[in-house]
């Protein structure tokens, strides 16, 4: 299949003006394929040759202006067209194949009740798997979608849909959309509908999840309405579509997708087991993120994929900021979770060999295959951090004024980075163009370190910068109080580079925290005295966001080989039991369990690391026995299960169906315990089959696949390997579940032979099954357990010698960089 190049897109955009699509789908023709006809009305500005894209199972016919075309020239995904100047109508009829990898039209049959569902994910190039199109973001058009669906199904789309007397579903015409935004979701949905601001709102899920959606419907709709209202306070342009539906769909690759009028979410966000308040807040932030896209992405769309950050960075920033403003009565400070979780993702991505600017040079994104690689922590978390710094620098009023200028000038059209910066500059006297060059066109993370000089009651604070960006930040100056705690003395605003040292009066501070409030994007270090205070008194810091910032700094120091992993665990053991902020507890436990215990400590030291984590979680359980902090208790139970080195305690919980003192075991906890028992060799296929009979849901199928792959037998590993790499029967979710169970540090001897087999197997899988499965193989099926020089050398040799798809290569580059860091941390 040919990928679209930027040059080809520019040439086609100069030739064509696309007006209207009529898309007719027939979803009644079987479980494997569906029928698709698209009719496109467009204008050729001059006579010339071009092409339309499609990836059919069978191409039945193509008719241009009433004249049938020869379809044999279809070359991969391109059908050539020779056009005269003027108006044209092109109709193409195909049979298309359903996907089981989350791309194109994905079809899923629910194992709970046997009901089937079909939904689209058409991002980047996957519209071609559903209907023929001039597939590039700057050829917007009006879409009218209709579908014939099985009896009992409801069809949702970007605009309001109605079922006609003939049973066919018809959606209203949309405003001009890019092709990748078209969405259809069809099936026997369970729906909760309401109306807000004169528009129909709806939330939808598969029928087997109906009780769980109903339990959370008020919260989901309250968040949706609150964010909708808040965006109308921020933006001059009203919501530009005729309805707002949210569909929670199965086996979805992304977290969510901003299809105008019909946002699709992975249906894990319909919680069927207990979750923490932080996880509920994450769902709220994603709701706000996708809604922000209705303006930034959908109303105004990028012209080419080098500007994907314009979509994602803006929505990421607005998601956290808007929930913080509109839902403060329900959720604590969202920026704490952003700092401890999302921002760390950005820092990690920005220090890898695969790093790129937030706004890459157009030549760095020559085609759609390379564009797909930029959906990472840089385009999301770093870009959002840069925008947060921009707001701190230019002021929120001017920032929003510039955004509203941008919407007004480009609504229902396309825009570039240059347009965006020009529109911001129109609202401020600051030099936004220079800021953009320094922040958006550069790579890497600046590191800021405080230096204190003086004596007595006069001190000078100089901030040393390893990097090149300007920063506006706050400096937290903390003293010890009479009880040995820490109290904020002052939090002055500072520009880096400084024009002069910051003058401090009073005793030498016990702790200096740069970027207090976390308004800029930079790694923070400490002077020697402040580091000692942080290590000994972290839990005494009064502000949760500041504690999160310090924890992030310690995490960075471990990753950079400046702080021993064992010392980080010691700090966690000393302070985490006293931590009150759930997002901090979850973030620290996750890093300690998945990175330190599994990767950063040696094999010999791993039992001690797991023992420390077990002790920390037991302290948290003792602290939460009164039931006042169920989220903390749930986070502790999960980590205790994952850290168990002997089966007795967690096996007794599984047998009794409860943790002593709570919580009762729901399906998520039962599968988590069974997976750990499988790793420890304390369960078998009989027990897994019995648990699957108890929970035959899709999530249960994934849990069983993970448990089976985790069993410590040669037969189990061979069966899992065959399922992942020798057949193509696994869906994207079942592949991931199997991969997550396969590699276990406790089973190094058992799986060592598969380490060398991974690379040729992953290459072949990527070639057969496409970029989504390539990404899954590189992310989840990589032998991350093997932390040794031989594994690093093996991977580097394959990168140097093998031809592989860009999606797989990018994941392997990142995995090998993480491996190199783990070796450095162990040293």
Residues serving a catalytic function are 290
User: How would you classify residue 104: left for phi > 0, otherwise alpha for psi between -120 and 50, otherwise beta?
Assistant: left
- Contacts of residue 411, Cβ cutoff 8 Å, sequence gap at least 6: 237, 240, 299, 300
Compute the radius of gyration of the chain from its Cα atoms: 27
DSSP label of 227: H
In the structure encoding, which two tokens stand for residue 771, read together?
């970029």
Q: Which residues of 71-109 are buried (b: 16+ CB within 10 A; e: fewer)?
A: beebeebbbebebeeeebebbbbbbbbbbbbbbbbbbbe
Q: Dmax over Cα atoms in the chain, in whole Å? A: 91
Contact by Cβ (8 Å): 370, 806: yes
Rounded distance, CA 167 to CA 147, Å?
9
Q: How far apart, in whole angstroms, are the C-alpha atoms of residue 502 and residue 452?
A: 10
Task: Establish how many alpha carbons lie within 13 A of residue 386's alpha carbon, considering only the half-sphere containing its beta carbon.
Answer: 33
Distance, in Å, from the CA atom of 405 to the CA atom of 420, rounded to the nearest integer, reads: 9
Dist CA 362 CA 377 (whole Å): 19
CB crowding 35-44: b at 16 or more within 10 Å, else e: bbbbbbebeb
Alpha-carbon distance of 372 to 360, in angstroms, equals 13
Half-sphere exposure of 467 (CA within 13 A, CB side): 22
Could you give the angle at the alpha carbon of 730 between the alpha carbons of 725 and 735, nearest 5°? 70
Question: For 479-603, where are the alpha helices, taking DSSP H only?
Answer: 528-537, 544-559, 565-575, 582-591
Q: Which two tokens stand for residue 151?
A: 């009896």
N-term to C-term CA, the chain: 45
Instruction: Measure the CA–CA gap between 602 and 270, rounded to whole angstroms.
Output: 39
Residue carrying structure tokens 């959906």: 375
Residue with structure tokens 């569909």?
A: 247
Sign of CA dihedral 185, 191, 196, 198: positive
Distance CA 85, CA 69 (A): 18
Contact 717/755 with Cβ under 8 angstroms? no
Q: Cis omega before residue 24 (within 30°)?
A: no
**Cα dist from 431 to 398, 438, 643, whole Å:** 13, 11, 52
- 289: closest CA among 245, 224, 345? 224
Helix axes 714-721, 698-710, angle to 10 degrees: 130
Q: What SS3 state is found at 796?
A: helix
Six token digits for residue 294: 């209705």
Alpha-helical segments (H) within 207-307 = 210-234, 277-293
**Which tokens hold the place of 743?**
């590699």
């Amino acid at each position: 299949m040919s990928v679209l190049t930027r040059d080809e897109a520019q040439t086609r955009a100069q030739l064509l003006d696309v007006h209207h699509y009529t898309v007719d789908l027939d979803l009644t023709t079987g479980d494997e394929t569906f029928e698709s006809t698209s009719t496109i009305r467009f204008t050729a500005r001059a006579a010339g040759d071009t092409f339309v894209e499609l990836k059919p199972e069978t191409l039945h016919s193509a008719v241009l202006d009433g004249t049938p075309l020869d379809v044999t020239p279809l070359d991969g995904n391109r059908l050539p067209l020779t056009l005269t100047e003027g108006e044209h109508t092109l109709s193409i009829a195909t049979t298309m194949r359903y996907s089981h990898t989350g791309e194109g039209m994905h079809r899923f049959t629910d194992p709970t009740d046997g009901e089937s569902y079909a939904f689209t994910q058409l991002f980047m190039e996957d519209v071609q798997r559903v209907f023929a199109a001039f597939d590039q973001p700057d050829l917007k058009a009006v879409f009218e979608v209709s579908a014939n669906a099985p009896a009992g199904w409801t069809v949702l789309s970007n605009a309001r849909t109605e079922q006609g007397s003939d049973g066919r579903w018809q959606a209203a015409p949309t405003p001009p959309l890019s092709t990748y935004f078209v969405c259809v979701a069809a099936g026997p949905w369970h729906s909760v509908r309401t109306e807000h601001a004169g528009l129909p709102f709806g939330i939808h899920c598969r029928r087997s999840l109906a009780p769980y959606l109903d339990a959370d419907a008020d919260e989901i709709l309250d968040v949706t309405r609150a964010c909708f209202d808040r965006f109308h306070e921020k933006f001059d342009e009203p919501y530009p579509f005729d309805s707002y539906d949210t569909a929670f769909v199965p086996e979805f690759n992304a977290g969510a997708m901003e299809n105008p009028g019909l946002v699709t979410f992975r249906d894990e966000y319909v919680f069927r087991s207990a979750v923490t308040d932080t996880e509920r807040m994450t769902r709220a932030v994603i709701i706000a993120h996708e809604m922000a896209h209705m303006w930034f992405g959908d109303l105004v769309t990028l012209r080419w994929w080098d500007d994907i950050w314009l979509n994602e960075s803006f929505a990421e920033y607005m998601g956290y900021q808007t929930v913080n403003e509109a839902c403060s009565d329900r959720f604590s400070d969202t920026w704490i979770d952003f700092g401890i979780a999302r921002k760390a993702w950005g820092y990690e991505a920005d220090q890898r060999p695969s790093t790129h600017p937030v706004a890459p040079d157009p030549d760095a994104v020559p085609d759609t295959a390379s564009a797909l690689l930029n959906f990472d922590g840089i385009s999301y978390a770093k870009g959002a951090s840069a925008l947060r710094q921009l707001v701190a620098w230019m002021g929120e009023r001017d920032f929003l004024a510039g955004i509203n200028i941008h919407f007004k000038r480009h609504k229902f059209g396309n825009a570039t980075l240059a347009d965006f910066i020009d529109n911001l500059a129109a609202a401020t006297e600051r030099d936004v163009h220079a800021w953009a060059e320094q922040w958006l066109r550069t790579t890497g993370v600046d590191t800021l370190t405080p230096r204190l000089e003086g004596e007595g009651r006069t001190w000078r604070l100089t901030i040393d910068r390893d990097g090149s960006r300007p920063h506006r930040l706050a400096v937290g100056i903390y003293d010890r109080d009479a009880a040995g705690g820490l109290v904020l003395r002052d939090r002055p605003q500072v520009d880096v580079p400084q024009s002069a040292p910051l003058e401090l009066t009073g005793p030498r501070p016990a702790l200096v925290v740069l970027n207090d409030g976390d308004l800029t994007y930079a790694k923070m270090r400490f002077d020697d005295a402040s580091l000692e205070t942080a290590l000994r008194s972290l839990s005494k810091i009064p502000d949760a966001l500041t504690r999160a910032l310090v924890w992030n700094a310690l995490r960075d120091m471990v990753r950079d080989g400046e702080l021993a992993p064992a010392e980080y665990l010691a700090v966690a053991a000393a302070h985490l039991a006293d931590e009150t902020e759930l997002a901090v507890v979850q973030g620290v436990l996750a890093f300690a369990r998945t990175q330190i215990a599994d990767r950063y400590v040696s094999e010999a030291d791993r039992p001690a690391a797991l023992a420390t984590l077990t002790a920390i979680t037991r302290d948290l359980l003792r602290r939460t026995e009164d039931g006042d902090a169920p989220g903390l208790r749930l986070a502790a139970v999960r980590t205790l299960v994952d850290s168990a080195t002997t089966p007795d305690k967690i096996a007794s919980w599984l047998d009794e169906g409860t943790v002593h003192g709570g919580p009762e075991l729901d399906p998520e906890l039962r599968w988590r315990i069974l997976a750990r028992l499988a790793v420890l060799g304390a369960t078998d296929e009989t027990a897994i089959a019995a648990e699957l009979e108890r929970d035959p849901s899709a999530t249960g199928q994934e849990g069983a696949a993970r448990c089976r792959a985790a069993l410590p037998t040669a037969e189990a590993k061979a069966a899992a390997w065959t399922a992942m790499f020798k057949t193509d029967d696994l869906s994207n979710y079942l592949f991931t579940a199997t991969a997550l169970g396969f590699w276990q540090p406790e089973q190094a001897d058992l799986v060592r032979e598969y380490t060398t087999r991974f690379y040729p197997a992953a290459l072949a899988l990527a070639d057969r099954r496409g970029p989504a499965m390539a990404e899954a193989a590189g992310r989840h099926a990589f032998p991350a357990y093997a932390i040794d020089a031989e594994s690093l050398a093996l991977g580097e040799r394959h990168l140097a010698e093998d031809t592989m798809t860009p999606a797989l290569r990018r994941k392997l580059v990142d995995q090998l960089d993480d491996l190199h860091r783990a070796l450095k941390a162990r040293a």
